[in-house]
Chain A
């Protein structure tokens, strides 16, 4: 089965979940319901007051129901970011 996600496997991805959280990690696997294995993951918490806060999390299985967006991260570009200086409103949750 190819859902187009297979090209992301073993790459760094950002997962935006339907509650508005942003998880970054290595995509290790997925299935037909878009359940996802995210390895060495961390969460980026955005705020307008302080810069982006990174919360180290580790190995995750994210249930497909909650996955809104999966984006490929350009690691080189990502490493150049100064997260401490990035201020932004956190995302809202999905409106059903």
Chain B
């Protein structure tokens, strides 16, 4: 699976984007391109130290400034469904349905922060021993 296919599938989903400078952007992905440039809507920007916040209706982030993106767990299952649907369009063979994955997924917020922030290093989330 290609990272950019996953990102394309994550359109209209909430996500956290951490930039190389440590700032994080929480918002809904509107669109993305092959350079990982992205459009977010309803954004909360958090400073590097996590002490300052800015709200903005939308923003555009140049792909090359991104460190990583956190996306909801269930999106990875949707990529498989999408490719299955595409394959079904091409020929009627193959393309097994990927439904029926364990229900341990979802719960993206994991208890949820006050700001609706979905995490990052600054928010000490409870740890779990593997």
Contacts and interface: CB of A to CB of B under 8 A. Distances in A.
B30 interface: no
B76 to A, nearest CB: 6
B129 A31 contact: no
Contacts of B67: 17, 19, 62-63, 66
B77 to A, nearest CB: 10
B92 interface: no
A59 B76 contact: yes
Nearest to B126: A56
A17 B66 CA distance: 13
A35 B1 CA distance: 11
B130 A79 contact: yes
Interface of B: 1-7, 20, 36, 63-64, 66-73, 75-76, 108, 110, 119, 121, 124-130
B109 to A, nearest CB: 10
Given A19-B67, A65-B20, A58 B108 contact: yes
A15 B129 CA distance: 19
Nearest to A56: B128
Nearest to B6: A37
Contacts of A21: 121
B3 A61 contact: yes
B70 to A, nearest CB: 6
B3 A59 contact: no
A61 B129 contact: no
A6 B61 CA distance: 29
Most chain A beta-carbon contacts within 10 A, residue among B20, B121, B127: B127
B127 A56 contact: yes
A59 B125 contact: no
A69 to B, nearest CB: 15
A28 interface: yes
Nearest to B72: A59
Nearest to A52: B127
Nearest to A53: B127
A31 B75 CA distance: 18
16 contacts: A21-B121, A29-B1, A35-B4, A37-B1, A37-B6, A37-B76, A39-B76, A43-B121, A54-B130, A58-B73, A59-B73, A59-B76, A60-B68, A61-B68, A63-B69, A65-B20
